[in-house]
């Protein structure tokens, strides 16, 4: 057998009698890796089994700070091979137990396939793991860890550097004087003091940018529907609505993750609502801005200047029209590139990788499980339900004091000691946080991540009469102290409330606010509130049909005939804006919302 330091002992093999197929299907459904090389114990920790007869080999594919390298070398053979081609990486990887990268190396499915099962850990020395194929990692039983905190300040400082450099034309004036010119009147800048800066995405980086901009005398407001208002208030920042943010900004600084909801969030329609002459900074991710729309806004003068550190494609093509635009200040994804941040990131990732190779739990694990196989098997359909209820509930939030207080109710005929809900709680946390964050939540880091974000999740058990064979009857998720995009989702006591059950092995939404519904939670959902009357289902169905959107489920829950009702429609495809607009125009429909699951 090849000289791999990780082998299953026969006794551990016996501990995994169940088939690989269900384990892999679970992993692809909810990102939980269950592999033949991990052992689950009843203390809920998992162990990567390391034979002690060989030193592991760690491949470092991009430059890493010296302290991190020293730490790695004290434990393993370290191969620093920078600038490898994809083919070279695939060749080398079969000799390595761990791989460390930054954002410049694509860790594709081919890399995991080429490793022949030897690769156990991928360490991303930074936050974003968009360059790592997570499903492939999970399917190949490879743990992925990242370093989410060590480069926050560097990114914030780079944001401020771009803001000030842009306002005073530093890059353009520098190029001009180096070309032998002396153009004093051409490079008159704008002042920052007293100007309104909108921070979009008030997380780790955004709040540090806000703090610094206030020191420059700017009036700072923020848009982040999920951030706690009291955290913002504590540093003198007011959270505002999206419309208020974009219409009042003199400067906008982007700090949200790239998610389906933020993709091209700055587009033609949004630029048209901005004050003429607004200035824009992006140190978050390319793709949050619609590049073509930004070019048009720069040409028309709506956007006076932009400063970009990140691009839809990296590196951008040489003739990229944004990069070469005189009004654009550009840097090659340097947000995290300070000596201090790279040392910090290197230590953070080296500790995580070495710990994982030793079999310790990693707080920054992105795809790791820690649950006994038999619990996972029994709760599998409820795990999917739990995550989807979390995703649904958080997407209904419109604003308020931020998502801080969530109550989860589990109704079961089993006594509390016979039902381990930690897995479900982690999946609800995952559902609540992942749609609104760049953070990856799993069983290892769920409670830690929730606490870090000021999110308090309380559990309540309802013990029902009946057979304890079924682990759970229903799960209810309530978010308190928030406003909803869909007033119909508000309960008697003022919380956003969604409830679901597993029916025939599939997750179903069974209650929204006060309304009983029944819709399988798959694809996407449209929720409509209306006064119950004939013909509405037909009208909505026709609009969706004309837009070539396939309806997979529809249900109406009402208080009483001809009274208030909520219609839930499951759709396979995302309706376009026009179809959604037409649904909103049906006179009996009081409100509606489209939710991606
Ligand atoms: N340029 C660089 O080198 C560099 C370095 C570090 C981080 N980053 C990027 O910066 C971004 C922020 O990183 P972070 O560590 O602060 O992440 P974070 O998770 O701490 O903060 C993200 C914030 O965005 C908010 N958000 C989510 N969806 C939103 C929406 N639709 N509208 C408004 N706000 C929304 C979240 O509530 C959260 O508060 C990420 O995209 C990250 O990849 C870039
Ligand atoms: O996601 C991150 O941490 C930043 O974008 C930095 O990426 P880098 O490590 O490639 O500089």
Tens-place pLDDT, residues 431-470: 999 988 887 787 667 887 898 889 999 999 999 988 888 8
Tokens for 574?
């995302």
Domain 6-150+340-368 matches domain 373-596 at the CATH topology level: no
Q: How far apart are alpha carbons 298 and 292 in whole angstroms?
A: 10
**Residue positions annotated with a catalytic role:** 285, 314, 333
Which residue bears the tokens 């801005």? Answer: 289
Q: Are 565 and 532 in contact (CB under 8 A)?
A: yes
State the closest ligand 2 atom to the C-alpha of 128, by its place in the atom list counted from 1: 1
Average pLDDT, integer, range 62-72: 96
Q: What are the pLDDT digits (tens) for 92-104?
A: 999 999 999 999 9
Could you tell me how many helices (H) and strands (E) the chain has, helices first? 19, 24
376 DSSP 8-state letter: H
Which option is the CATH number for 6-150+340-368: 3.40.50.720, 3.40.1390.30, 3.20.80.10, 3.30.1330.10? 3.40.50.720
Taking 80 as the threshold, does the pLDDT of residue 22 lie above it? no
* Cβ within 8 Å of residue 325, ≥6 positions away: 295, 298, 306
Q: Any idea what DSSP says for residue 52?
A: T
- Distance from C-alpha of 366 to C-alpha of 456, rounded to nearest angstrom: 21
Burial class of residue 321 (count of CB atoms within 10 Å of its CB; 0-12, 13-18, 19+): middle
Class of domain 373-596: alpha beta
Give me the phi and psi of 224, to 5 degrees please: -165, 100
Pocket test for ligand 1, best of 126, 203, 225, 366 (most atoms within 8 A of CB): 203
Average pLDDT over residues 332-356: 96
Q: Where are the domains of the chain?
A: 6-150+340-368, 152-330, 373-596
Is residue 46 over pLDDT 60?
Answer: no
Q: Could you give the CA distance from residue 47 to residue 39 in angstroms, rounded to a whole number?
A: 6
CA 142 to chain centre: 20
pLDDT score, position 128 = 86
The residue whose CA has the least distance to atom 15 of ligand 1 is 204
pLDDT for 452 equals 85
Q: How many CB atoms lie within 10 A of CB 176?
A: 15
Distance CA 339, CA 325 (A): 30
Q: Return the residue whose CA atom lies nearest to atom 31 of ligand 1.
A: 262
- Give the closest residue (by CA) to ligand 2 atom 5: 128
Q: How far is residue 253 CA from its own chain's centroid?
A: 19
3-class secondary-structure state, position 299 = helix
Q: Is the CB of 336 under 6 A from ligand 2?
A: yes
DSSP state of 590: E
- What is the rounded CA–CA span in Å between residue 107 and residue 547? 38
Q: Is the CB of 103 inside a 6 Å radius of any atom of ligand 2?
A: yes
CA 305/CA 326 separation, integer angstroms? 9
Q: Whose CA is nearest to atom 39 of ligand 1?
A: 203
Q: Is there an atom of ligand 2 within 6 Å of 102 CB?
A: yes
| pLDDT single digits (tens) 135-182 | 888 777 788 999 999 999 999 999 999 999 999 999 999 999 999 999
With the most atoms of ligand 2 within 8 angstroms of its CB, the residue from 64, 68, 102 to mutate is 102
- Three-class SS state of 382: helix
With beta carbons less than 8 A apart as the criterion, state whether 478 and 496 touch: yes
Contact 58, 99 (CB under 8 A): yes
Which among 129, 151, 201 is the best mutation to test ligand 1's pocket, defined by most ligand atoms within 8 Å of the CB? 201
Residues 6+ apart with CB under 8 A from 225: 242, 397, 398, 399, 436
**Quick one: which of 509, 508, 517, 569 has its CA closest to 543?**
569
Pick one of 3.40.50.720, 3.40.47.10, 3.30.70.270, 3.40.50.1400 as the CATH number of 152-330. 3.40.50.720
Question: Residues with beta carbon inside 6 Å of ligand 1?
Answer: 127-128, 151-152, 155, 200-206, 223-224, 226-227, 255-258, 261-262, 283-285, 309-310, 333, 335-336, 436-439
Give the lowest-confidence range in 213-217, 229-233, 340-344, 472-476: 229-233
Strands (E) located in 358-473: 397-412, 456-463
Counting ligands in written order, the one closest to the CA of 123 is 2
Q: Does ligand 2 have an atom closer than 6 angstroms to the CB of 126? A: yes
With the most atoms of ligand 1 within 8 angstroms of its CB, the residue from 102, 148, 205, 270 to mutate is 205
Closest CA to 103 of 416, 386, 419, 345: 345
CA distance 224 to 230: 13
Atom 10, ligand 1: which residue's CA is nearest? 284
Q: What is the CA radius of gyration of the chain?
A: 26
Q: How far is the CA of 200 from the centre of ligand 1 (A)?
A: 9
For residue 558, give the H/E element and its range.
strand 551-558
What are residue 475's phi and psi, to 5 degrees? -125, 135
Ligand number nearest to the C-alpha of 147: 2
In angstroms, the CA 396 to CA 595 distance is 8
Ligand closest to Cα of 154 equals 1
What is the structure's pLDDT at 373? Answer: 58
Q: Is the ipTM of this complex over 0.90?
A: yes
């Amino acid at each position: 057998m090849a000289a791999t330091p990780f082998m299953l002992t026969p006794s551990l093999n016996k501990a995994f009698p169940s088939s690989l197929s269900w384990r892999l299907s679970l992993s692809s459904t909810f990102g939980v890796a269950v592999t033949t090389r991990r052992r689950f114990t009843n203390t809920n920790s998992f162990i990567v089994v390391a034979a002690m007869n060989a030193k592991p080999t760690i491949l470092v594919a991009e430059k890493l700070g010296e302290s991190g390298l020293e730490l790695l070398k004290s434990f393993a053979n370290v191969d620093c091979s920078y600038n490898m081609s994809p083919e070279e990486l695939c060749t080398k990887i079969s000799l390595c137990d761990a791989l460390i990268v930054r954002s410049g190396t694509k860790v594709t499915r081919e890399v995991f396939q080429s490793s022949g099962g030897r690769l156990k850990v991928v360490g991303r020395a930074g936050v974003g793991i968009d360059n790592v194929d997570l499903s492939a990692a999970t399917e190949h039983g490879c743990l992925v860890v990242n370093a989410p905190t060590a480069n926050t300040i560097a990114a914030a400082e780079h944001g401020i550097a771009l803001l000030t450099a842009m306002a005073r034309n530093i890059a353009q004036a520098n190029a001009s004087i180096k070309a032998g010119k002396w153009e004093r009147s051409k490079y008159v800048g704008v002042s920052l003091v007293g100007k309104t800066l909108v921070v979009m995405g008030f997380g780790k980086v955004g709040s540090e940018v806000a703090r610094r901009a206030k020191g420059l005398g700017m009036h700072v407001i923020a848009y982040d529907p999920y951030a706690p208002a009291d955290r913002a208030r504590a540093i003198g920042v007011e959270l505002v609505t999206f419309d208020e943010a974009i219409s009042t900004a003199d400067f906008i600084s982007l700090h949200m993750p790239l998610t389906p909801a933020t993709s091209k969030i700055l587009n033609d329609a949004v630029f048209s609502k901005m004050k003429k002459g607004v200035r824009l900074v992006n140190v978050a991710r390319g793709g949050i801005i619609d590049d073509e729309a930004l070019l048009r806004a720069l040409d028309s003068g709506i956007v006076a200047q932009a400063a970009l550190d990140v691009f839809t494609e990296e590196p951008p093509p040489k003739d990229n029209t944004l990069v070469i635009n005189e009004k654009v200040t550009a840097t090659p994804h340097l947000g995290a590139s300070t000596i201090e941040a790279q040392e910090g990131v290197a230590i953070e990732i080296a500790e995580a990788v070495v710990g994982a190779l030793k079999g310790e739990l990693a707080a920054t694990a992105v795809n790791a499980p820690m649950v006994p196989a038999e619990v996972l098997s029994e709760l599998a359909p409820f795990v999917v339900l739990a995550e989807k209820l979390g995703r649904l509930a958080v997407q209904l939030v419109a604003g308020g004091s931020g998502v801080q207080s969530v109550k989860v109710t589990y109704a079961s005929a089993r006594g509390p000691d016979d039902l381990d809900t930690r897995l479900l709680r982690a999946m609800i946390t995952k559902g609540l946080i992942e749609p609104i964050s760049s953070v990856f939540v799993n069983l290892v880091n769920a409670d830690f991540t929730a606490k870090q974000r000021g999110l308090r999740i309380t559990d309540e058990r309802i013990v029902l009469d009946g057979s304890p064979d079924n682990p759970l009857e229903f799960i209810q998720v309530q978010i308190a102290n928030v406003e909803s995009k869909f007033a119909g989702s508000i309960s008697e006591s003022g919380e956003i409330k969604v409830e679901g059950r597993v029916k025939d092995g599939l997750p179903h939404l069974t209650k929204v606010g006060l309304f009983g519904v029944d819709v399988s939670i798959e694809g996407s959902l449209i929720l409509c509130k209306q006064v119950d009357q004939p013909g509405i289902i037909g009208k909505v169905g026709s609009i969706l049909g004309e837009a070539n959107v396939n309806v997979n489920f529809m249900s109406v829950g009402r208080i009483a005939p001809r009274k208030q009702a909520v219609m839930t429609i499951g759709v396979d495809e995302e309706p376009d804006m026009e179809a959604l607009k037409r649904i909103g125009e049906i006179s009996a429909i009081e409100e509606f919302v489209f939710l991606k699951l």
